[in-house]
Amino acid sequence: MLYEKLLIEANNEKINVYERDIGKLKGLYVDGNIALNLSIETYSEKACVLAEELGHYHTTVGDILDLSKAENRKQERRARGWAYEKLVSLTSLIEASKQGIRNRYELAEYLGVSEKFIEDAIKYYKDKHGLYYELGKYIIYFEPLGVLEKL
Amino acid sequence: MLGDNIRIVRTARKMSINKLSKLTGISLGYLSDLENNKAKNPTMDKINKIAEILCVPVGLLLGNESVIDDIANEYGKRLEAYDKPTLQNGKVRYVHREMTDIERKELAKEFLNENPDLFFDLPENTRNRILERERNAIKKPTTIAAHIPDGVELTEEDMKQINDFIQFIISKKQK
């Protein structure tokens, strides 16, 4: 399972992950320690939140709680980007297409993440690459989502 | 420079380099290199140990801005007035005058950068307060991020949860 895979990865990086009551917050990252909200029900959503917090471990420096600062928002976006590229990688989109997956629901199921996360990831790729991205002999369209193989 | 600071503070404490070596467990040769600015990359462990034995904030030895600021604040309070050199009719005259708080602090900072041993001029309880503040500052987490839904700002309740978690981690570390 994706969530467990990420937990093992966190463990290898010596990051402590705690599932605990943190009110309305979904996740927290503090100096190599991650708190995930106990009340998150599905494993797919847990995986998504955990991936973002791992993204903070890999990309964030400093206290970025105050998101009204542009610099902090930038770091937040970078951490999320790390999570998107980790869980919804471009190669996994190609792979999914080869498996005959055609809609967002099936894709979420296939990758083990929430549909909202897929939506955000696609939006992130669109902001980053534009409407499509060429990868080897494939072209990935982000809107509508689809993969074409070049002849 | 770090080496000069260590030497100045050590001499002010009337401690021989031999004794410092014994108390810290750092070899005499290395300490000597450190004081002569020949050893460029000492580990934080070593610096912490030296600061601990000499009873000074680590930041004072390292020239850490926020720590120097803190000490200058306290030290500045002790600078009442000074003789400011001013040019009058082409001659330098010293004019006795009061200083503003900012001037006091700036002057204290200047003094401290050259003479870290001025730290010992402060009363003992003030020194302990400064040491305590430095310890707490080190405890404060450096990297921290929260996962909140887009566009929603952190509430007081969220901040409480965050602080709870930080306390939880600190208590784990101490065990």
Q: Specify the pLDDT at position A36.
A: 95
For chain A, give the mean pLDDT.
Answer: 92
Chain B nearest C-alpha distance from A101 (Å): 29
Q: Specify the pLDDT at position B173.
A: 65
ipTM of this predicted structure: 0.82
Name the band, by pLDDT with cuts 50, 70 and 90, for residue B169: confident
Chain A nearest C-alpha distance from B146 (Å): 4
Name the band, by pLDDT with cuts 50, 70 and 90, for residue A78: very high
Please check whether residue B153 touches A, CB under 8 A: yes
Query: Percent of chain A having pLDDT more than 90?
Result: 79
Does pTM surpass 0.90?
no
Please check whether residue B84 touches A, CB under 8 A: no
Q: Is the pLDDT of residue B129 over 70?
A: yes
User: Which residues are paired to B96 by β-bridges?
Assistant: B83
Instruction: Give the mean pLDDT of A70-90.
Output: 93
For chain B, give the mean pLDDT.
Answer: 84
Beta-strand pair A132-135/A33-37: unpaired
Tokens 């803190």 correspond to: B70
Sign of CA dihedral A19, A22, A25, A27: negative
Residues of chain A contacting B153 with CB distance shorter than 8 Å: 67-68
Exposed e or buried b for every residue in A49-74, given b needs 16+ CB within 10 A? bbbbbbbbbebbeeebbebeeeebee
Q: Please name the residue of chain A whose CA is at the shortest distance from the CA of residue B148.
A: A25
Is residue B134 within 8 A of residue B128, CB to CB? The reply is no
Instruction: Give the mean pLDDT of A54-75.
Output: 89
**Distances from the Cα of A138 to the Cα of A5, A95, A100, A120, A150, angstroms:** 28, 11, 15, 22, 6
Q: Please name the residue of chain A whose CA is at the shortest distance from the CA of residue B159.
A: A65
Instruction: Give the mean pLDDT of B103-128.
Output: 87
Q: Which one of A107-116, B115-124, B134-143 scores highest in mean pLDDT? A: A107-116
Q: Specify the pLDDT at position B153.
A: 77
